[in-house]
Structure 1
Amino acid sequence: MSSVFSFLSVWLIVAFTVERFIAVQYPLHRPRVCTVSRAKTIVLGLVGVALPSHIYSFWTAGLVQQDDGTVVCEMLPEYHEIMRAINIVDSLVTLILPVLLIIFMNAMITRKLVHFGRRFRQQSSSGTDASRSVEGVAMVGSNRGAASGGSRQRLFDAERAVEATTKESRVRKRLLKKSTEDKETAGQQDYTVGMF
């Protein structure tokens, strides 16, 4: 049973990593792809693969008499060669393949997050007056050599102003979009009522 739980622990981690990979790489598909029912199906599928694939231990293990006359439960001598091949396959399936999958998916997640961070910084710093003030404060601080505590504070305040301006513009856009949608919905309802 320990081999069954080892298999399950590794492949459940791979399943969680796949879900996180989908959420980061394809955020619009995540609600449709990553559902509770699909997660339950995957867990049951993993259990369905783990139990039959490790059932061999019931036939390969048995009571073996030691040289000193004691009887122990261990692998039967006639299955040593078969078990060597099974151990190689088991190592590939429960160690090598999962590690490679997890490394690949985490690398892709990290790559996507770094790319998103760069793009977000570029969007938030371009085209706003507050971003120009941050650049101006940064240039003044760099011209003076080592930045003093006051210039650091001004730089910090200017960065906070950029964040606030960016957040305000996002809120305005959302409100404008919502009010436009509400007006369109109200116009459609008025049109429907006028038809009857």
Structure 2
Amino acid sequence: MKTTQSIYDAVLQHMQQSNFSFNFTLSWPPQEQDEYPSIYKTGRTFYAYFTPVILIVGFIGNSLSFNVFMSKGMRNLSASVYLAALSATDLVTLLCYVMVEWFRRGLVYLQPEWKVSFVDTDYLCQFQMYTSYVSRMSSVWLVVAFTVERYIGVCHPLRRIDICTVSSARRIVICIFVTSLTLVLYKPFMTGVFISGNGNKYCTTYPKYNLESFILDSVYGLLITIIPFTIISVMNFLIINKLFARKRKQKKTRILSEEALVRLEFTSILFVISFCFVVFNIPFLIMWIRNFFHSKHISNQINESSYKVDYWRGVLYITRTIFYANYCINFFLYSLTGAYFRRGLKALFCRKSDGLLRSHSVLTRYNSHSHTNQSWV
């Protein structure tokens, strides 16, 4: 039993260093840069300088996206309910997770004397940890819910009128938030503020809960990575297969109604969101899996050089920064693939627009489901 506990302690320690247990618990600005591999210095520099860009772009982009999807006409679409909620959760994630971790890891790397210690105080530490867990889980499963909604709309159009409604979308969003709030209730009760040997405070798991936290964080990791990745990939494959099958049956060019174009636009938005979601998350996931299995044999790696350990930490910083970009990229994806989104964005700055009034009329007709049986998307 003692051996088993020591293995879990070693695994947990390594997971904390890799941050897939979603804590940055160790804060150590490099003291002697020449002793670190170039990839480590490159990774930390990339993380330190690029993360603020992600924060600025993400705050602006998600705020604009939220306002567009909540604007007149757009807010009466079931798809807009999911995308507005996604923008809101991404804002919370940027504030409570990305920015806080950059304070702990990035800012202190650029300016070691600029230490932001208020985030590592009792109550605020637990609140920040809990909020970041909830927002990240909610963000992932909102993408899943949007994917399922589009799958029903494309592959089961006759059921769309009963299932893909604004009221059902709102209920699903609330259900996702409530479920996320419930599933991660364990985190604040297992987290506390500790003081390191050099006197620095850090927010991490109580040592007595190491084993329980390891198990629950592993389940949490599966719920925001492998499981949603699988659902999204399968659903997208079925959607694409259905669209191509319908296209092959059409011998002549068919002019789509504007209502069908709206559905096609949201389907395109789904594809680019889910594709970027998977692409930006996979590198960080692979690095965590590598570090996880690596730590399984940590007792046999005592003689491993710190140079090699720092090499993989540098790679982890790079993949982490790419992972963060997932929370700021959606605005550009909406702008590239959504003509109605661009019109709504224009309306935020120009209230009088004939194109906007026409779009509102089309979106209202689309939401009424009056053309459901004629639509092929």
What range describes the TM-score normalised by the shorter chain of this pair? Answer: 0.5 to 0.7
How many Å apart are 1:40 and its aligned residue? 0.6
Task: Identify the residue that residue 130 of structure 1 maps to in structure 2.
Answer: none
Q: Distance in 2 between matches of 1:29 and 1:117?
A: 21
Give the Cα–Cα distance (whole angstroms) in 2 for the partners of residues 44 and 116 of structure 1.
34
Task: Give the total of aligned pairs.
Answer: 123
Structure 2 residue ranges without an equivalent (≥5): 1-130, 254-377
Candidates 74, 81, 98, aligned match of 2:204: 74
1:21 alignment partner in structure 2:
151
The aligned counterpart of 2:285 is none
Percent identity between matched residues is: 35
Tell me whether 5-14 or 79-88 shows the greater mean CA deviation: 79-88
Aligned twin of 2:166: 36
Higher helix share: 1
Deviation by residue 1:144-172 (Cα, 9 ceiling, x = unmatched): xxxxxxxxxxxxxxxxxxxxxxxxxxxxx
CA distance in 1, matches of 2:218, 2:185: 16
Matched, 1:7 2:127: no
Structure 2 residue 234 is matched with structure 1 residue 115? no
Compute the displacement of 1:8 (Å): 0.5
1:114-155 C-alpha deviation (Å, 9 max, x unpaired): 11010012xx39xxxxxxxxxxxxxxxxxxxxxxxxxxxxxx
Task: Say if 2:222 is the partner of 1:92.
Answer: yes
Secondary structure of the structure 2 residue equivalent to 1:29: helix
Q: Distance in 1 between matches of 2:240 and 2:200?
A: 56
Structure 1 match to 2:190: 60
Q: What TM-score results when the alignment is normalised by the length of structure 2?
A: 0.32
Q: Which amino acid aligns with 1:106?
A: N
**1:175 matched residue in structure 2:** none
Structure showing greater radius of gyration is 1
Q: Secondary structure at the match of 1:57?
A: helix
1:27 to partner: Cα distance: 0.9
What are the equivalent positions in structure 2 for 1:176-191 lying under 5 Å apart?
none
CA RMSD of aligned residues (A): 1.4
CA distance in 2, matches of 1:99, 1:87: 18
Ranked by relative contact order (alpha carbons within 8 Å, sequence separation 6 or more), the top structure is 2
Deviation at 1:70, TM superposition (A): 3.7
